[in-house]
Structure 1
């Protein structure tokens, strides 16, 4: 059995988002850790978790420009497709050169509701 659940990935990213915007690399890294333990494909785990976060209106995807965070608007499938195309261009290793995540008010509320329990069992 895995020591974490996919919900823990969501909570971890949301907790990091309480302080600042979260680079997409963070979500990829957590999904990669899950995939290595579970045998699932990283891309599938990533897409499932991101879809959940967007569907539940916990985060917004966007990029950083001179004026700050700019939301990517569109249907969830379109936003996920745009993220995947961008990540494909970086071979899924963007090193801060791709999109970012911004918590919504609902994401902040959920992150605060679980307290400071850490993301993974060894955090």
Structure 2
């Protein structure tokens, strides 16, 4: 898949629920390509990155550069293998939902 197709696939999946970093990694081949997709999603304001907490999805309040660096560090630490749903999660923004709905 090319990057824009991955972006649309991720956003489509995010229409129903939050999606895990593992799911984004499954779309991108090689897995390191997921970092470019995540950066694009966050830069364009199509998704927010965070974690699941007591209140549900809790967005990470930091710059895109900081968030992407933290995500990449986590991926390297896990040798780009699935993390079993722990760690980073992503939620569509209204803008992301609108982009997918517009086709």
The two structures have a TM-score, normalised by structure 2, of 0.91
1:113 pairs with 2:84 = no
Structure 2, unpaired ranges of 5+: none
> What does the per-residue CA deviation read over 1:79-99, in whole Å, with 9 as the maximum and x for residues that have no partner?
001111222232222121121
Bigger radius of gyration: 1
Q: Distance in 2 between the 1:92 and 1:64 partners? A: 20
Please tell me the root mean square deviation across aligned C-alpha atoms, in Å. 1.2
Do 1:87 and 1:98's aligned partners in 2 also have CA atoms closer than 8 Å? no
Which structure 1 residue ranges, 4+ long, deviate > 6 Å from structure 2?
A: none
Query: How do residues 17-32 of structure 1 correspond to structure 2 at under 5 angstroms?
Result: 17-32=14-29
The two structures have a TM-score, normalised by structure 1, of 0.78
Aligned partner of 2:66 among 64, 78, 81:
78
User: Which moved further from structure 2: 47-56 or 80-89?
Assistant: 80-89
> What does the per-residue CA deviation read over 1:1-22, in whole Å, with 9 as the maximum and x for residues that have no partner?
xxx3210100000000000001
- Count how many residue pairs are aligned between Structure 1 and Structure 2: 102
- 1:18 is paired with a residue whose SS is coil
> What does the per-residue CA deviation read over 1:10-49, in whole Å, with 9 as the maximum and x for residues that have no partner?
00000000000011111101112xx3xxxxxx31x11211
Q: Distance in 1 between the 2:92 and 2:13 partners? A: 9
Do 1:60 and 1:104's aligned partners in 2 also have CA atoms closer than 8 Å? yes
Q: Distance in 1 between the 2:34 and 2:13 partners? A: 17
1:54 pairs with 2:51 = no
